[in-house]
Amino acid sequence: MKSKKKIVFVINYFYPDFASTGQLMTELCMSLQQEFNITVIAAQPGYAGEDIKSTKKFEVEQMEKMKIIRIKLPKVDKTSKLSRIKYITSYFIYAQVVLLKERNVDLIYTISQPPIIGGLIGTIGKWFKRSKHVYNIQDFNPEQAAAVSYTNKQIVFKVAKKIDMLNCSYADKVIVVGNDMCKTLHARYANKRLPSHAVINNWTNEEEIVPLNKTNSKIEQFLKGHNLENKFIVMYSGNIGLFYDLENIIKVTENFKDQEEIAFVFIGEGAVKKDMLEFVKRKGISNVYFLPYQSKEFIKYSLNAADVHLVVNQKGIKGVSVPSKIYGVMAAGKPILGVLEQGSEAQMLIEKSNNGLVIEPQDYEGITKAINQFYQMEKGQLKSMGLNGRAYLDKHLKRKISINKYREVLNDVLEG
């Protein structure tokens, strides 16, 4: 009997973390565990700021057929660069040590989180273990950091880009999650030898997240519990981080402060949430609500509580990152207000599926007009627009399609 090939996934976030990449990678590993011998190296759950109860630096556990090695890392303050650096450095050192101790590794799978470091772990691991390496780029860095001027030291960006280009070149396969990101990979190398690569979009579990009416008992309970009954809800659900311009988009809510029938609901945590809270408090806006991350089991209800969902990216992010929240919103059959650049992956999905409106980033007047346009739509038109997204997802973006593409890539690399 042919023995299973061993794949080590070094992916930072993994179940039960709230991070979207953690949920995606958990589903991927669970889908592949029958065919491969899978080991996962991940941090102790802490994406939403949870307290880590474990006192051990490393813990090994079994999840179905998979071995999970958890690393205890320092708690990160996402508003502090120093705290982020400490976290990333610790992750790099400990994850690399754990990986190098693993035996009989046939393939190392890493993602671009933390930035640059995620890929570098695979580059070093491949050299020492004489294994294959698949590098999954969820976000291009330093391009993403440069788009929001994370630092004014250009030398940092130049060095980081050189390192990540090395990661890509040395990988046996680079996977990007959008066609616009494929163009960025091409631009990186210009006339040089382009790394072997594939485009595989992210997904959601379309069997779990389905369109539901607000009369659903769980949704009614959610609305009542947060004083959102009979409101027209504009929702953002996900990371409230540095790359979405939410610290400026929140200012649009001041235009609706006297329209109590419209509610803005932000679900999640992140680096700019504090600034958003302070703005709302300073301006005395009472129809903006901030809620913590919802459990994976409850997301299907919280997503369906909205009338319109915000899917946003900062200017300059086109070709750098794809907001994976779009797949969950499409699965729930809800209309989308996209604040996205023309030609970006998410913008093209909204256009192809006809399930929303798209405004250019930093066009705050346009965002205000779009919200009013949604609010004035007939309920039937609003519902049809949302269901267009679900129909498109069922035809082109099912989880099974993406996971099968991953399966093919991994088998091709291992047999290559």
Tell me what the mean pLDDT of segment 72-77 comes to. Answer: 85
User: What counts of helices (H) and strands (E) characterise the chain?
Assistant: 15, 14
The token pair at 58 is 């490393």
Digit-coded pLDDT (tens) for 220-256: 999 999 999 999 999 999 999 888 999 999 999 999 9
In this predicted structure, what is the pLDDT of residue 45? 85
Tell me what the mean pLDDT of segment 264-293 comes to. Answer: 96
Average pLDDT in the chain: 94
The domain ranges of the chain are 6-203+398-415, 217-396
In this predicted structure, what is the pLDDT of residue 54? 65
Q: What percent of the chain has pLDDT over 70?
A: 97
| Residue-wise DSSP of 73-137 | -PPP-TT-HHHHHHHHHHHHHHHHHHHHH--S--EEEEES-STTHHHHHHHHHHHHHT-EEEEEE
In this predicted structure, what is the pLDDT of residue 47? 55
Whether pLDDT at 154 is above 90? no
Domain 6-203+398-415 shares a fold with domain 217-396: yes
- 8 Å CB contact between 315 and 361: yes
Digit-coded pLDDT (tens) for 346-376: 999 999 999 999 999 999 999 999 999 999 9
SS3 content of the chain, % helix, strand, coil (to 5): 45, 20, 40
Name the DSSP letter for residue 139: B
Q: Mean pLDDT check: name the lowest of 126-135, 151-160, 200-209, 287-296.
A: 151-160
In this predicted structure, what is the pLDDT of residue 81? 78
- 8 Å CB contact between 37 and 109: no
d(CA 56, CA 76): 18
Tell me what the mean pLDDT of segment 196-202 comes to. Answer: 97
> Could you tell me whether strands 132-137 and 173-176 are parallel, antiparallel, or unpaired per DSSP bridges?
parallel
Whether pLDDT at 52 is above 70? no
Whether pLDDT at 48 is above 60? no
Tell me what the mean pLDDT of segment 326-347 comes to. Answer: 97
Name the DSSP letter for residue 343: T
In this predicted structure, what is the pLDDT of residue 252? 98
Q: Mean pLDDT check: name the lowest of 10-14, 53-57, 303-307.
A: 53-57
- 8 Å CB contact between 245 and 314: yes
Name the DSSP letter for residue 358: E
Name the DSSP letter for residue 377: S
- Read off the amino acid at residue 361: P
Q: What count of other Cβ atoms lies within 10 Å of the Cβ of residue 261?
A: 10
Whether pLDDT at 152 is above 80? no
Digit-coded pLDDT (tens) for 341-350: 999 999 999 9
Whether pLDDT at 216 is above 70? yes
Phi-psi region of 245 (alpha: psi -120 to 50; beta: other; left: phi over 0): left
- 8 Å CB contact between 248 and 333: no
Instruction: Tell me which residue has tokens 């803005």.
Output: 264
Q: What band does 148 get if pLDDT is binned at 50, 70 and 90?
A: confident
Q: What band does 17 get if pLDDT is binned at 50, 70 and 90?
A: confident
Q: Enumerate residues 6+ apart whose C-beta is below 8 A from 356.
A: 308, 311, 335, 336, 337, 338, 350, 385, 389
For domain 6-203+398-415, give its CATH number from 3.40.50.720, 3.40.50.2000, 1.20.58.1180, 3.30.300.10. 3.40.50.2000
Digit-coded pLDDT (tens) for 128-141: 999 999 999 999 99
In this predicted structure, what is the pLDDT of residue 50? 56
pTM for this entry: 0.93
d(CA 8, CA 21): 16
Secondary-structure class of domain 217-396 per CATH: alpha beta
Digit-coded pLDDT (tens) for 79-120: 787 888 899 999 999 999 999 999 999 999 999 999 999 999
